[in-house]
Structure 1
Amino acid sequence: MRTLVVLGLVLAAATPAFAQSDKAARCESSAKMVMEAVQARKDGVPQKRTERELRRALDRDAGVMLAQWIYALPEDQLNLDVGRSWEQQCLSQ
């Protein structure tokens, strides 16, 4: 019985850690996607093409909104800070 209680406590304590690591992985992945779109813009890829790729990865509305946001950024802001900020915002939610 004591073993079951200890096992239950260990699993309960581990669940938030797994959730956090899963969230961190999702946020890192989405930040990478943002940076790929930033790089596409820097490489001269048309916005519509980037929208199409993001819609495939996300959904219709999210892909369009993300592409519009990236293509509206001033050129001097197209750097690694975009991905870092995106990841931090994601982790804070």
Structure 2
Amino acid sequence: MRNAVLALILAGLPAVAVAQDDALETCAQTEAWFNLAVDSRKMGEPKRTVQTTMRDEMDRAAADQLVEFVYALPEGQLTHAVGAMARQQCEGL
């Protein structure tokens, strides 16, 4: 289920040219965005603040979905493994 949700979120992230380097760069950025959301939540940042920050970086709907996903995770899962999983999903698309 979690992978399906991640795939939906990743599908809403900005598309980049088809060049492989660009795709890898996009996936690295995706990992960074997920890690930022995870770190922000762990530091006690309100969800709305994180949504606003993420909306400056990406499409509003994608930002909201990403933040909702991270804020729905149990605290024990708030690690950079979330970002790594997002990157893995991105690279598989």
TM-score by length of 2: 0.77
Aligned-residue offset at 1:89: 0.2
Residue of structure 2 in register with 1:29 after alignment: 29
The code of the aligned residue for 1:65 comes to Q
1:8-87 mapped onto 2 (5 Å cutoff): 19-87=19-87
% of aligned pairs identical? Answer: 36
Runs of 5+ in structure 2 lacking a partner? 1-17
Residue of structure 1 in register with 2:5 after alignment: none
Aligned-residue offset at 1:70: 0.4
The code of the aligned residue for 2:32 comes to K
Max radius of gyration: which structure? 1
Aligned-residue offset at 1:62: 1.0
Runs of 5+ in structure 1 lacking a partner? 1-17
Aligned partners of 1:55, 1:29: CA distance in 2, in Å?
Answer: 14
Aligned-residue offset at 1:31: 0.6
Higher relative CO (CA 8 A, sep ≥ 6), structure 1 or 2? 2
Aligned length: 76
Aligned partners of 1:58, 1:25: CA distance in 2, in Å?
Answer: 15
Aligned-residue offset at 1:71: 0.2
Q: Name the structure with the higher helix share.
A: 1
Off by >2 Å, runs of 4+ in structure 1? none
Asked if the contact 2:38/2:80 (under 8 Å) is kept, the reply is no
Aligned-residue offset at 1:92: 0.4
Aligned-residue offset at 1:22: 1.4
The code of the aligned residue for 2:82 comes to V
Aligned partners of 1:90, 1:60: CA distance in 2, in Å?
Answer: 19
**What SS does the aligned partner of 1:79 have?**
coil
